Amino acid sequence: MARINLDHIRHAYGIRPSAPHDYALREVHHEWADGGAYALLGPSGCGKTTLLNIISGLVRPSEGHILFDGKDVTHLSTEERNIAQVFQFPVVYDTMTVYDNLAFPLRNRKVPEDLVATRVKHILEMLELTDRADKKARGLTADQKQKISLGRGLVRSDVNAILFDEPLTVIDPHLKWVLRSQLKQLHRQSNYTMVYVTHDQTEALTFADKVVVMYDGQIVQIGTPAELFEKPKHTFVGYFIGSPGMNVFPVDVEGRKVRIGDATLDVGFAPKIGAGQKAELGIRPEFMDIGRKGMPLSIRKVEDIGRQKIVRAELAGQAVSIVVKEGADIPADPHVTFRDEGINIYADSWRVGREA
């Protein structure tokens, strides 16, 4: 259990990086709290696996330091860092029993056998695998194997953090949510620092206290699921999180007035847009209301998804999505209004706050 400091870390797989784009991981400088559950979320190639490998010690960063509880571990190997990891595909020792699999990391560290027995029994109960303790691991299903990989980390008391590299990839969809909620529960019981890599926002949002959204080699936002939803710091976060994603319009900003197409909105504050910067307005489909007032809208399609409808429409020459309640009435001559709390203004894709 440890606090993790990522101190000005950068990484490039090539030899001599010169431009920012040569870096697989651009500057990362953050502190992650002890006992926290973090999810690294982003599309393939965004650098999340690189960051995970830097934390685990499989990759040494080109620049910067990594500290566990204030101790520099940049040059230590995975074993020396006391990290546990759950991989994409379950790694179990086929020829051993479930019990021996869980006891393996402890026995390798010369833990006395009676202590091994108590620890393993405890973990078996946590993972609900007690009845399979004496079975060979090879006969198990993928989700049970994945639990064992996790268990081999949980069983150790010296683990600084448990890392998950897209651990639910090979799990049947109907078991995914079961395993996910068990994971959440295990985190509460064990209080280990956990880092979970995924490209699936549902997994990230349900598992983590803090979601780390990565895009193009950098961390664009770290925040609670609510923060990511309400105040996306970067337009990418807006697109990537939420379904459908945030609508983003190019706008002209003049003091408190923001112009979209022919319409002008008063956003209640004066966003700071630098010279030459691209100004955008982002609004989530959930914060838009269809009625007889506001900006004129031309509706293309309405999708019914149970309790809600998604309206696909065109506003100011651009495609938008709007979420409305099931019974909501859509007038023949539809207009749309934005709720103030849902309006975010972006300068060159980065959010400009009210407070700024």
Nearest to 204 by CA among 36, 93, 42: 42
| 128 near another protein (CB under 8 A) | no
Q: Which stretch binds another protein (CB under 8 A): 102-110, 243-251, 312-320, 333-341?
A: 102-110
CA gap 303, 285 in Å, rounded: 13
Q: Which stretch binds another protein (CB under 8 A): 32-40, 88-96, 125-133, 348-356?
A: 88-96
Contact by Cβ (8 Å): 5, 67: yes
Binding mask 152-191 for another protein (x = CB under 8 A): xx--------------------------------------
Contact by Cβ (8 Å): 30, 218: no
| 47 near another protein (CB under 8 A) | no
| 65 near another protein (CB under 8 A) | no
Which of 8, 21, 71, 109 is the binder for another protein (CB under 8 A)?
109
Q: How many CB atoms lie within 10 A of CB 110?
A: 6
Least distance from another protein to the Cβ atom of residue 30, Å:
22
CA gap 336, 341 in Å, rounded: 15
End-to-end Cα, the chain, rounded Å: 37
Contact by Cβ (8 Å): 251, 260: yes
| 71 near another protein (CB under 8 A) | no
| 94 near another protein (CB under 8 A) | yes
Measured on CA atoms in the order 131, 135, 141, 145, is the torsion positive or negative? positive
Q: Which stretch binds another protein (CB under 8 A): 147-155, 186-194, 217-225, 232-240?
A: 147-155
Which of 60, 256, 278, 292 is the binder for another protein (CB under 8 A)?
60
Q: Which stretch binds another protein (CB under 8 A): 34-42, 71-79, 217-225, 320-328?
A: 71-79
Give one word for 246, left, alpha or beta, with left for phi > 0 and alpha for psi -120 to 50.
beta
Task: Quote the DSSP letter at residue 130.
Answer: G
Task: Please say which residue, 104 or 177, places its beta carbon nearer to another protein.
Answer: 104
Q: In whole angstroms, what separates CA 206 from the centre of its chain? A: 9
Task: Please say which residue, 96 or 299, places its beta carbon nearer to another protein.
Answer: 96
Question: Which runs of consecutive H residues, i.e. helices, occur in the chain?
Answer: 48-56, 78-81, 98-108, 113-126, 142-154, 173-190, 201-207, 225-230, 235-240
Task: Please say which residue, 165 or 203, places its beta carbon nearer to another protein.
Answer: 165
Q: Which stretch binds another protein (CB under 8 A): 56-64, 186-194, 282-290, 325-333?
A: 56-64
Least distance from another protein to the Cβ atom of residue 106, Å:
9
Measured on CA atoms in the order 266, 271, 274, 280, is the torsion positive or negative? negative
Nearest to 42 by CA among 170, 285, 219: 219
Chain residues binding another protein by CB under 8 A are: 13, 44, 49, 53, 57-60, 75-79, 83-85, 87-89, 91, 93-96, 104-105, 108-109, 136, 149, 152-153
